[in-house]
Chains A and B, each alone.
Chain A
Amino acid sequence: MIRELSRSRLAWDSLILALIVVSCVLVTYQFAFDQAGALGGFQLLYLFDLFFLVDIGFNCVTTYRSRGVEVVDRKLCTAHYGRRMLMVDIIASVPFDLIAWVLIGNGQFLGGSLILALRLLRLLRIVRLFVILRRWEAFSWSNPAVIRVIKYFVSILLLIHWLACFWFYSAFAAGFPGDSWVARAAVLHADAVDQYVRSLYWTITTMTTVGYGDITPGRTTEYVLAGIIMLMGASLYAFIIGSIASLLNSIHASKNRHWERIESVTEFLRDQKVPAKTNAEVRNYYEHVWERFQGVDRNRMLADLPQPLRLKVLLHLTESIRQTVPLFKHSSGLLRDALLTSLESQTYTPGSIIAHEGDRGRSIFFIAEGDVEIVSVADEKSYGTLSNGDYFGLMSLTLGEQRTASVRALTYCEMLVLDHEDLTHIREEFPEFRDILKQVSAERSEQISALLMEGVVL
């Protein structure tokens, strides 16, 4: 089976995507501008057909997602593909034009070659292009907004190309009479590339509502066609502008929301006559939160997740602290998981007090990131600093004593906090936790003793 989101499928889909675009351009170009050319030209198309036939085989054994679960059963996958896309892919991939050419030869259809008209069936491949892009939206690394931009641009460019081809074909099908635009624009005897460029130029100027008027319709069918293209152009123009604006907004949606929040908070603080210095601190805090977490409230995000998923995310988010904090290093898998799901993340700004002198300890603080200073605020005496991986709060909590010093953030600090209730619960559930605490404390006994001798209890 081929996994829907595997690298090999991604690489194959990229190739198929490129072939879809090229074949959709080539078949319409040949149909409009190369009717007089050899039917055997554009043999490349038949090579492409081989790739698309192989793609049908791959699609039969590619997994799909149903209600968020990947279905890997081969029969189910084939049946799923058979029900939805198989017929379209077969019509778009089997070279019916070649079969008809061999069996009945060329004929006339809509004023042009029947074989070239049959080649247009390959345009159905555009459906597969959307299927591939929808699959790519499911990749965790992909930005759905970017995929949508790709989808819009490819669709619009192809539409312009097709309309340009159709615009020229309308004159060709009538036999290039003197009042047709081709004759009046003096490109009747120009080479195909020149004719294509003129046709494309007229389509773009008409669709973008520029309309220089140097190429104009001359016959009733051309007027009708020009009217339709103008209407499509105007609608498309409005659609493109609207879509691009909404896409640009959605690409930076979270950033915009975050800045709007900062603006409203700082404006509120200004209105409330909060000192400019404090206001600047609040703004700096939000900027830090953006840089560190892209504006996501980690605690709320984690609370939204079901327990097993929350644990998976937490294991990743706390990878570095689990390697530096001794408590995690010595814990078994189950105990580590219980600790992780009980920890609350808190952010402190430089200079703020994390633990106050005189408070009775209710929590243990693990420093995930940042530096803190143990300090007596009253006499500004410093008892040293702690940094990434260090922890404090256990002594005051266990002894039931008031803290005799404060802990102040020196930098922006990300703390993981374990409160008393969770600690008690973990102690009851995991008897080995006490031995781990003993082991961890033994490793830090010199630091604890030095602080104790100075009268510091944290």
Chain B
Amino acid sequence: MDIKTTEAGDVSVLELTGHLDTNTSPDAESAIIALIDSGATKLLINFSALEYISSAGLRILLATGKKLKAVGGDLRICSLNDTVQEVFDISGFSSILAVSKDQDEALSSF
């Protein structure tokens, strides 16, 4: 899995590539924790290059959402492919997380 972090104004953008599963989620979790620890409160995770997400990946998203909420921050997710979108739909994540169509829409929603 490839993790790329960029800044868009006061929003930290995390771009995940490949599979977010049991093997790769510890890396993703570390990257997210590092961002939050460095003071980032607005986090956008871009899934445009993410092919697959497992339950472990979903758990990280839930935990991240909670952490950011605790520090008054916000989590946005954008650009889900069809497979990931379906997982979000049947897990109810589409309704509990703020999911946007693309990065621009997500950035403007903060």
B94: chain A residues within 8 A (beta carbon): 438, 441-442
Once bound together, how far apart are the Cα atoms of A448 and B89, in whole Å? 12
A457 within 8 A of B: yes
Q: Which of B42-50, B52-60, B71-79 is the contact stretch?
A: B52-60
Cβ proximity bits B11-51 to A, threshold 8 Å, 1 near / 0 not: 00000000000000000000000000000000000000000
A437 within 8 A of B: yes
**Cβ contact within 8 Å between B91 and A452:** yes
**Cβ contact within 8 Å between B59 and A455:** yes
Chain B contacts to A: CB under 8 angstroms: 54-55, 58-59, 62-63, 86-87, 89-96
**Cβ contact within 8 Å between B59 and A445:** no
Q: Please, how many residues of chain A have a CB less than 8 angstroms from a CB on the other chain?
A: 21
B91: chain A residues within 8 A (beta carbon): 395, 441, 445, 448-449, 452
Once bound together, how far apart are the Cα atoms of A441 and B90, in whole Å? 5
A130, chain B: closest CB distance, angstroms: 62
Nearest first, the 10 A-B pairs at minimum CB distance are A445-B92, A442-B95, A438-B89, A441-B92, A457-B55, A445-B96, A398-B90, A448-B92, A441-B90, A442-B92
Given contacts A445-B95, A449-B62, A449-B96, contact A401 B55 (CB under 8 A): yes
B17, chain A: closest CB distance, angstroms: 20
B59: chain A residues within 8 A (beta carbon): 452-453, 455
A sample of 29 cross-chain residue pairs with beta-carbon separation below 8 angstroms, ordered by A number, consists of A394-B90, A395-B55, A395-B90, A399-B54, A399-B55, A399-B87, A401-B54, A404-B55, A434-B86, A437-B90, A438-B89, A441-B89, A441-B92, A442-B92, A442-B94, A442-B95, A445-B91, A445-B92, A445-B93, A446-B92, A448-B91, A448-B92, A449-B62, A449-B96, A452-B62, A452-B91, A453-B59, A453-B62, A457-B55
A444 within 8 A of B: yes
Once bound together, how far apart are the Cα atoms of A444 and B91, in whole Å? 8
Nearest chain A residue, comparing its CB with the CB of B86: A398
Chain A contacts to B: CB under 8 angstroms: 394-395, 398-399, 401, 404, 434, 437-438, 441-446, 448-449, 452-453, 455, 457
Nearest chain B residue, comparing its CB with the CB of A400: B54
B65, chain A: closest CB distance, angstroms: 9
**Cβ contact within 8 Å between B58 and A434:** no
A391, chain B: closest CB distance, angstroms: 11
Once bound together, how far apart are the Cα atoms of A438 and B94, in whole Å? 8
Given A445-B91, A452-B91; 7 other pairs, CB 8 A cutoff: A398-B86, A401-B54, A434-B86, A438-B89, A441-B94, A441-B95, A455-B55
Once bound together, how far apart are the Cα atoms of A445 and B91, in whole Å? 6
